[in-house]
């Protein structure tokens, strides 16, 4: 399988199951296991890719996806804490997050496409953008009492 085809397969798999991060986090799966499941690679292959993020474009993509998963887990944990601490804010928080996530995904897709076109690093650039935006939202929600 060519590197380009493998990259497309990985991107497709990650896109299809990105909504399952919170479910997987709750089940205790490791990030390596999640990435292995999504990519079709073994956990050992994924661990090898994650061991040296600058080794090649595939390692860079996997590291970007790992960082995105970490940021999304942290945000989900914070959201759960906020919902528990303030149930009356749960609906407002849900609306805020739904609108934000849609904007984040659209903005990051456009930004990555402008930077990379359809190049091999497109998915990594998109993941890095989403990671940054997710960290910003985590800080914003952490600092607020109710959205």
Q: Does 25 have pLDDT greater than 80?
A: no
In this prediction, residue 76 carries a pLDDT of 93
Instruction: Please say whether the beta carbons of 89 and 147 come within 8 A.
Output: yes
Q: What angle do CA 93, 12, 22 make, to 5 degrees?
A: 30
Q: Does 15 have pLDDT greater than 60?
A: no
**Arithmetic mean of pLDDT over the chain:** 82
Please give the share of the chain, as a percent, with pLDDT higher than 90. Answer: 58
The 10s digit of each residue's pLDDT in 61-97 is 999 999 999 999 999 999 999 888 888 888 888 888 9
Q: 147, 136, 142: which is closest to 81 by C-alpha?
A: 142
Record the tokens describing residue 131, joined without a space. Answer: 């990671």
| Average pLDDT for 112-129 | 91
């Amino acid at each position: 399988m060519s590197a380009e085809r493998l990259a497309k397969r990985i991107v497709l798999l990650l896109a299809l199951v990105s909504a399952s991060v919170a479910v997987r986090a709750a089940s205790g799966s490791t990030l390596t296991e999640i990435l292995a499941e999504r990519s079709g690679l073994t956990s050992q292959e994924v661990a090898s890719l994650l061991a040296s993020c600058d080794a090649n474009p595939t390692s860079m993509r996997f590291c970007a996806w790992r960082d995105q998963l970490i940021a999304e887990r942290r945000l989900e944990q914070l959201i759960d804490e906020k919902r528990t601490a303030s149930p009356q804010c749960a609906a407002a928080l849900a609306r805020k997050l739904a609108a934000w996530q849609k904007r984040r995904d659209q903005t990051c897709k456009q930004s990555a496409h402008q930077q990379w076109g359809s190049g091999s690093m497109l998915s990594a650039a998109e993941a890095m953008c989403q990671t940054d935006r997710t960290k910003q939202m985590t800080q914003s929600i952490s600092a607020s009492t109710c959205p």
